[in-house]
Amino acid sequence: MIRKLLAIAIAAPLIAYAQKPPQQVEVNVQKTSLSRDQEMQIGKQFAAQVEREMEVVRNPEVESWLNQIGQRLAKTPEANAYPYYFKLVNDDSINAFALPGGPMYVHTGLLKAADSEGEVAGVLAHEMSHVALRHGAAQIGKQQTYGTLFGLIGLAAGALTTDKNGNCGLVCQITQVGTGLGANSVLMKFSRGYERDADLNGARMMASAGYDPIQLPKFFEKLESSQGTTSEPRGLALWMSSHPGTGSRIQYVSDDIRFYPQRSYIAGTGNFSRIKQLMASIPPPKVQPGKLIQPKDNAQARSNIPAGYKDYPANGFSIAYPSAWQAGQPQPGSSLYIVPQGGALSNDNSGVELLAGAMIDYYVPQAGAASVKLAASTQEFIAGLAKGDPNLKAERSVAVTVGGKQALRTRITTKTSYTQEPAQVVYLFTVTRDAGLWYLVLGIQPSQLSAFDPIVKQMVASVQFPN
């Protein structure tokens, strides 16, 4: 009898445990040291970079369609009340990404690969969930300090001087922390746990907005199943590298759907077939200036670089510069600066002022890149600079050769914030390229010209274009 009672006593809690009702998986907003305002500021900074490096499709019909879907999702509780907006970029890889604070970009390749509006809504909901759950902000918050975030991809610490008050500003604290826009950056690559949470939150967001939530995992698993086959959609590897597998997405989303209120999923614009037609008519993407000044992936430094110099092989050009100088972008999407210690100054508007050294970028004429003409575009560029600088005086441009191309050299004088010697001499070199007017600015104080001129000649002589 005692043994029987003991067996009953042991079995009772096991029975109770087995009968415990299943619980919905909890998805949490991540804790981060960044405020929402800081998060949105970061997103704004990187949005500027995206739109200099990628071609945004200016099509009101497509933009309206994307925002109609996106804003329907954004009104749900799961979206966490961020100011989302949605743009299409011309890129045939299957991808989409949302930046901290709400900017979101959808690749044309994704819309070409989707078979329904619900699949597109699923991808938007998944990416929006990374924002809503503060995944990017949490990963950024783990980096050294907030002050490093605006030097994300370039200049070494100490390359810039302090601001006018003697404080080390944002661009003064630059360090390479891996916060760029590459597939492996902290803004783009999330852990399996974050991916699973984005799936679950995205499915809940879809259901709240009236879209069938099962479309989210089905589309993801459709992409996964096509990887490695002869029919693999173009650019699928990019999607897979930034969206790691998390087990059976269909299974765990289906388990989660059991907890949703019963409703009919009837949301839709009815315009998907029209959008697919528009995708087929979009021409191949154009190379954007912001991409051309970025370092070229896996590039090898040229072997003919002079002693005491190092190479900067970019996507649109290569240039050699003194080994003691630092090269990089002080802000996402900014110009390329190549400067000696103390060669640039962070100003009150979070911009950068060149005191000594070089700056490289592309100028797109008002009529567009296709209209670039060497003389006319150079004069238009200088006139624009003069409007913002009453001290600027430009001499007559002289024909030269840069990188084997016809070029112009213009000597300019102006003034800087450098109190010890505010006068500055600038050599402006301009070359016509497909993406716009390529320009190289080399500036120095007049007292340093004799030592600076040989550097100018060496850097200009080292310029090389890919074609």
Q: What integer best gives the mean pLDDT of the chain?
A: 84
Q: 354 to each of 210, 313, 323, 333, 387, how far by Cα in Å?
A: 53, 22, 18, 17, 18
Lowest mean pLDDT among 259-268, 273-282, 328-337, 354-363: 328-337
**Does residue 25 sit within a domain?**
no
Using pLDDT thresholds of 50, 70 and 90, give the confidence band for residue 150. very low
Q: Is the pLDDT of residue 347 over 90?
A: no
CA distance 327 to 330: 9
Whether residues 255 and 189 fall in one domain: yes
Pairing between strand 393-394 and 405-415? antiparallel
Question: 408 and 309 share a domain?
Answer: yes
Residue 354 lies in a domain: yes
Q: Can you tell me the distance from the alpha carbon of 328 to that of 321, in angstroms, rounded to the nearest whole number?
A: 12
The b/e string for 425-458 (b: 16+ C-beta within 10 A; e otherwise) is: bbbbbbbbbebbbbbbbbbbbeeeeeebeebbeb
Same-domain status, 370 and 260: no
Output the pLDDT for position 155: 34
78 vs 50: CA distance, rounded Å = 26
Are residues 243 and 101 part of one domain?
yes
Distance (Å, rounded) from C-alpha 173 to C-alpha 458? 30
**Res 81: pLDDT:** 96
How far apart CA 324 and CA 151 sit, in angstroms, is 19
Same domain, 262 and 364: no
Q: Please report the pLDDT score of residue 241 as a whole number.
A: 61
For position 172, what pLDDT does the model report? 32
pLDDT of residue 161: 36
Q: At what angle do helices 272-281 and 60-74 cross, to 10 degrees?
A: 140
Amino acid 93: pLDDT: 86
Q: Which of 153, 424, 433 is nearest to 287 (CA)?
A: 433
Give the pLDDT confidence score for residue 341 in this predicted structure: 87
Examine residue 416 and state whether it is found in any structural domain, yes or no: yes
Choice between 192 and 238, residue whose per-residue pLDDT is larger: 192
* Domain termination site, one of 230, 249, 281: 281
What is the number of structural domains in the chain? 2
Please, which pLDDT band fits residue 272 given cuts at 50, 70 and 90? very high
Do 228 and 365 reside in the same domain of the chain? Answer: no
- Tens digits of residue pLDDT in 157-176: 233 333 444 333 333 333 23
Are residues 268 and 120 part of one domain? yes
- Report if residue 127 sits inside a domain: yes
Q: CATH code at 370?
A: 3.40.1000.10
Tell me: do 221 and 318 sit in the same domain: no
Q: What average pLDDT does range 283-291 have in this prediction?
A: 88
| Boundary residue ending a domain (281, 309, 324) | 281
286 in any annotated domain: no
In a domain, residue 185? The reply is yes
Residue 282 CA: distances (Å) to CA of 17, 55, 290 = 58, 11, 21
pLDDT in tens, 50-95: 888 889 999 999 999 999 999 999 999 999 999 999 999 999 888 8
pLDDT at 190: 82
14: in domain = no
Domain closes at, from 248, 281, 314: 281
* pLDDT for res 191: 83
**Tokens found for residue 214:** 């099962």
CA 238 to chain centroid: 15
Whether 27 is in a domain gets the answer no
pLDDT in tens, 20-35: 678 899 999 999 888 9
Q: Does residue 306 sit in the same domain as residue 276? A: no
- What integer pLDDT is reported at residue 181 of this predicted model? 54
Residue 110 sits in the same domain as residue 229: yes
Structure confidence at residue 353 as a pLDDT band (50, 70, 90): confident
CA separation for the pair 175, 186 (Å, rounded): 15
What pLDDT, in 10s, does the model give residues 195-254? 999 999 999 999 999 999 999 999 988 887 776 565 566 666 655 666 666 668 889 999
Predicted pLDDT of residue 264 = 92
Does the pLDDT value for residue 13 go beyond 60? no
- Residue 79: closest CA among 87, 69, 94, 65: 69
The 3-state secondary structure of the chain reads CHHHHHHHHHHHHHHHHHCCCCCCCCCCCCCCCCCHHHHHHHHHHHHHHHHHHCCECCCHHHHHHHHHHHHHHHCCHHHCCCCCEEEEECCCCCCEEECCCCEEEEEHHHHHHCCCHHHHHHHHHHHHHHHHCCHHHHHHHCCCCHHHHHHCCCCCCCCCECCCCCCCCHHHHCCCCCCCCCCCCCCCCCCHHHHHHHHHHHHHHHHHHCCCCCHHHHHHHHHHHHCCCCCCCCCHHHHHHHCCCCCCHHHHHHHHHCCCCCCCCCCCCCCHHHHHHHHHHCCCCCCCHHHHCCECCCCCCCCCCCCCEEEEEECCCEEEEECCCEEECCCCCCCEEEECCCCEEECCCCCEEECCEEEEEEECCCCCHHHCCHHHHHHHHHHHHHHCCCCCEECCCEEEEECCEEEEEEEEEEECCCCCCCEEEEEEEEEEECCEEEEEEEEECHHHHHHHHHHHHHHHHHCECCC
pTM above 0.85, yes or no: no
- Stretch 38-58: mean pLDDT, rounded? 88
pLDDT of residue 173: 35
328/420 same-domain check: yes
Look up the domain containing 272 and give its range.
36-143+178-281
Task: Give the C-alpha separation, 276 to 89, whole Å.
Answer: 15
Q: Quick check: 431 pLDDT over 80? A: yes
Strand partners, 320: 311
**Where residue 352 falls among pLDDT bands split at 50, 70, 90?**
confident
Quick one: 135 and 184 in the same domain? yes
